[in-house]
Structure 1
Amino acid sequence: MHKTFYIAIMFIVPFLVAVTHLSCKRDITKIEEGGRDYASRDESALNVRILLLDRVKKAELSVDGRYQILGGLSNVVDEGVKLDKANVFIENGWINLGGKRHYNSELRIKDLGGSGIVLDSIPYRGEIRILPQTDKEFSVIEEINIENFVVGVLGCEMPNSWEEDALRSQAVAIRTYVENRRKAKKNEPFHLDKSELAYRGMLGETAKSVKIVQDTAGIVMAYHGEIFSAYFHSTCGGHTEDVNLVFGKEKLPPLSGVKCGYCENSKYYTWSVNIEKSSILQKLQKAKVNVSNIVSVKTVNHGPGEHGSEVEIIAAKGKELMNANRFRLLVGPNNLYSTAFTARNNGKNITFSGKGWGHGVGLCQYGVQGMAKKGFNWREILGHYYPKSELRRIY
């Protein structure tokens, strides 16, 4: 998602990673020391920018401890020992916060006491930036150390009770995904949208998740020296999918799809759901998809994991072909669990029978837990789900 922000974009030092090709044997995966030294650089070089709210008219914010508010030129415009719950809104270009008005290009709220900044009931560890978009709308970005962000995501993406090597695998996958986005969007206002990953700020933090992230700090995956987008999902249903078929991305060996066989314990390994045709039609028409009177649906152009790359919608007045992942997201990812399905016309409903939950690309979370329970370590697990990938410590 690309939005125009009326702010000065921070410049992040680009990656300068020198690498050599490593053996792809999964049982001897090594961690190579990367060529990126942060020791003499500003700590902000390790920060990631997360879009928390986009073009909203109101939000609620508080800080239960010492805080500081800076304007667009880093000048301190307010500070105190506690910021009680206050509404944030824009009025005629002025940013209203806690009964005070600020005419700035942005406001930056810093938590100086370590309690976190609470935004709409969710506490965040990083700095919160309020950015006016119009006379009435604003967006909110969190700027946070990447390791703290990985901790928060890990606690929301995978149960804390799971095997430690499963959690370590997930932590490295998250960090790799984030580093890929940081590099691709280094000159943009934000690197990630909150909706890209399961993230609820400090609510995802536990003592165990902090330890797990510390165990793998600075470690990412690369292919021929390039940090790739390490996708992950809940359940593959037996075989992960090719990134080219799901997202239309360039083919890449670590994201080409592999046989899993470890996620049978997921309740979404196989599934069947009934969804009303009228509900599907309403959501498609809202998204400007030209369909009416749906007769049936079927997936076409299947990948190695049996996910369809496209969906053919057969309607009373013809057929409509659309991207399968887009179809799933429009119908609802918590309603239609994956695109590896067959569909049957059932009167007013369509019965979808399928396997897996999620897009199917990259790491299968239930498969990771299954492998960890069988004694595989996190290096072996990552080598399995991302074949021919290299592990590198970049800071």
Structure 2
Amino acid sequence: MQKHYKSLYIVYIALFLTLIFISPVNASPLIPERVKVGLNYNSASSGMIISCNSSVAVNSLNGTDKSALLNISKPSKLSFRTDGYYNIIDKEIKKIQYIKAVKYQGDIIGPYHIQIGESFADYDSAEKSLENIKTKLPDSFLAYDGMWSIWTGLFLDEKQCLDQINIYQNKSNFYTYKLVEPDQRRVQIADVNSNDVMLIYKAQQVEIRASESMENTSPLEVNGVKYRGNILLKTQEDGSILVINDVAFDEYLYSVVGSEANPAWPIEALKAQAVAARNYAVINLGKHNKDGYDLCSTTHCQAYKGYSKEHDSTNKAVAQTKNKLLFYGDEVATTFYHSSSGGHTENSENIWSEEIPYLRGVDDPFSVGSPNDTWTHALDRKAMQQKLIENNMDIGDIIDVNIIETSEFGRAKKVEITGSKSAVILEKEKMRTIFGTSDIKSIWYEIKTDSDVNIYDTNSNSISVKRPQGLHIISASGQTIIEPSGKKISIKGLFDVQQYNIMPQTYILNGKGWGHGVGMSQYGAKGMADSGYSFIEILEHYYTGTKVK
């Protein structure tokens, strides 16, 4: 009996230790529960419209303080706008730089207000007072700047305020009246339909939270785009407003994968995209800390376009790879990806600067046949010159453009542009940056021109392509070198005479693939999935020496 108890005791101890040390299935300390996404990166706004199909709460988020500013118990459409000057024409409202001497169409509202009575320590006291004041001054509204007040009016200047104060004092001397000067850090909340101001607040950051949610979605819309989670508005010192979506991490991925990949693609390709997107987000968390959020919604981080980009298939891909990450040894891999490689991916140092061991160029036949497998783009000489000037590179009239160095896989690492004043060498992605990433889809291209001449070399029995300038020619007047000019030259071939520009007027780029070419090709992933490869095999093919864990 004693031996039996001893055995049970050992079993209990073992079970206890197992319960202590076992990890939750698929848990990862690297993956946050929520993420803050900047929705207007590089384009902070002076106003936006936020709609809600159910009740909504607006809360102040100053430091540790989270106090309610406004509660609306019915579907609403609210305008959040900086407390400034606006022109209203046929119910359309537009922010303006107000000039007193200018005659405007429609109505003008301004940032001067009148405070009625004293301030209140809490919302309930202010709300109760507002009910009484509205019986006499119906245009009154709540104001919050750390204390609660009752304000009225959207006046253009100090004189209008003082004139109105005199009128109020003559009509209703039950209250005290005080002029409120403009402050660009204040924000108005107005009803879009009536344009009535509901609240003016001065707070560094507020949260808009839907009190009720629809089926797995948030009823909050920002300028017509629906988002899960909560919306944060952060007022900057210059009066502009940052819009931030505070959302569950997996729900963020739902939109990213739906925005970055075709939902009709095979599930294994979508799962590869889900892991790549998760890795990329984890690696780049805090990229925009100085702006008050983790990641932005543009391709500067990853494309994030809200609820409308979610699909059952892409959401399933996120769920089926939950908490899966790609590792190189113990290191979380930086999973750069692009649309299509053109047949071969590229080494990281040939596109940027750092040599990363798992971002090696690999053969990619699965990408061949994609919509941008091959492409052509023509660059006009004059337009190129203007673009260079805009980028502080005035080299004079462009004489020629040549690739002077390629990677081992054929991409243009250095392009020399020669001008009448000087020459400039554009390295790696710089050519795309200056002349357009949508037009020059990758740096894997060759350059042809409207001046190219096919010359037959009798010694090697081969044909080479040359441009007239700099060539030695023999004419009726003897041997000469063709100098760069805007003229044409006539060249007699075996069967006819053709004219060529001495200096090219058009540079034609014949290229392959779309994107930087580093890491996973999205069309290549689709091709691999179509051929029966798993998402793990896809990822470990494009990211050399990595493992999915």
TM-score interval (norm. to shorter) = 0.7 to 0.9
In the aligned structure 2, how far is the partner of 1:222 from the partner of 1:185? 24
Deviations 1:285-323 (A, max 9, x none): 333344443333344543344223343222222211234
Q: Is the 8 A contact 1:299 1:339 kept in 2?
A: no
The equivalent of 1:107 in structure 2 is 206
Cα 1:222–1:106 shift into 2, 3 Å: same
The equivalent of 1:374 in structure 2 is 531
Cα 1:37–1:247 shift into 2, 3 Å: closer
In the aligned structure 1, how far is the partner of 2:401 from the partner of 2:75? 56
Q: Is the 8 A contact 1:296 1:343 kept in 2?
A: no
The one of 267, 272, 280 equivalent to 2:384 is 280
Cα 1:117–1:279 shift into 2, 3 Å: farther
Cα 1:253–1:376 shift into 2, 3 Å: same
| Structure 1 residue 264 corresponds to structure 2 residue 368 | yes
In the aligned structure 2, how far is the partner of 1:46 from the partner of 1:323? 40
In the aligned structure 2, how far is the partner of 1:327 from the partner of 1:144? 37
Q: Is the 8 A contact 1:283 1:330 kept in 2?
A: yes
Shift of 1:71: 1.3
Rg bigger for which structure?
Answer: 2
In the aligned structure 1, how far is the partner of 2:231 from the partner of 2:275? 25
Q: Is the 8 A contact 1:312 1:319 kept in 2?
A: yes
Cα 1:97–1:335 shift into 2, 3 Å: farther
The one of 212, 232, 238 equivalent to 2:317 is 212
Shift of 1:130: 1.5
| Structure 1 residue 97 corresponds to structure 2 residue 189 | yes
| Structure 1 residue 149 corresponds to structure 2 residue 252 | yes
The equivalent of 1:10 in structure 2 is none
Secondary structure at 1:71 match in 2: strand
Secondary structure at 1:344 match in 2: strand
In the aligned structure 1, how far is the partner of 2:83 from the partner of 2:396? 41
Mapping 1:324-339, distance limit 5 Å: 324-339=428-443
Larger RCO (CA under 8 A, 6+ residues apart): 1
TM-score calculated relative to the size of structure 2: 0.60
Mapping 1:1-395, distance limit 5 Å: 36=29, 45-53=32-40, 54=42, 55-73=44-62, 74-80=66-72, 81-89=74-82, 91=84, 92-98=184-190, 99=197, 100-112=199-211, 113=213, 114-182=217-285, 189-196=292-299, 197-249=302-354, 251-346=355-450, 347-392=504-549
Deviations 1:232-253 (A, max 9, x none): 110101111111221213x222
The equivalent of 1:5 in structure 2 is none
The equivalent of 1:42 in structure 2 is none
Q: Is the 8 A contact 1:90 1:137 kept in 2?
A: no
In the aligned structure 2, how far is the partner of 1:323 from the partner of 1:134? 38
In the aligned structure 1, how far is the partner of 2:391 from the partner of 2:442? 19
Q: Is the 8 A contact 1:126 1:144 kept in 2?
A: yes
Question: Residue 225 of structure 2 aligns to which amino acid in structure 1?
Answer: I
In the aligned structure 1, how far is the partner of 2:59 from the partner of 2:282? 28
In the aligned structure 1, how far is the partner of 2:415 from the partner of 2:508? 15
Q: Is the 8 A contact 1:69 1:107 kept in 2?
A: yes
RMSD (CA atoms): 2.4
In the aligned structure 1, how far is the partner of 2:407 from the partner of 2:515? 15
Shift of 1:178: 0.4
Q: Is the 8 A contact 2:47 2:79 kept in 1?
A: no
In the aligned structure 1, how far is the partner of 2:326 from the partner of 2:254? 18
Secondary structure at 1:153 match in 2: helix
Shift of 1:345: 3.5
In the alignment, structure 2 segments of 5+ residues that lack a partner are 1-24, 85-183, 191-196, 451-503
Deviations 1:5-37 (A, max 9, x none): xxxxxxxxxxxxxxxxxxxxxxxxxxx967639
In the aligned structure 2, how far is the partner of 1:209 from the partner of 1:107? 32
Secondary structure at 1:254 match in 2: coil
Shift of 1:135: 3.3
The equivalent of 2:104 in structure 1 is none
Secondary structure at 1:371 match in 2: helix
* Identity across matched positions, percent: 23
In the aligned structure 1, how far is the partner of 2:426 from the partner of 2:229? 39
Question: Residue 224 of structure 1 aligns to which amino acid in structure 2?
Answer: G
TM-score calculated relative to the size of structure 1: 0.82
In the alignment, structure 1 segments of 5+ residues that lack a partner are 1-31, 39-44
May I ask how many residue pairs the two structures share in their alignment?
354
Shift of 1:185: 6.3
In the aligned structure 1, how far is the partner of 2:240 from the partner of 2:395? 34
In the aligned structure 2, how far is the partner of 1:330 from the partner of 1:128? 35
Q: Is the 8 A contact 1:89 1:96 kept in 2?
A: yes
Secondary structure at 2:369 match in 1: coil
Question: Residue 82 of structure 1 aligns to which amino acid in structure 2?
Answer: P
In the aligned structure 2, how far is the partner of 1:267 from the partner of 1:76? 52
Cα 1:348–1:129 shift into 2, 3 Å: farther
Question: Residue 314 of structure 1 aligns to which amino acid in structure 2?
Answer: T
Question: Residue 97 of structure 1 aligns to which amino acid in structure 2?
Answer: I
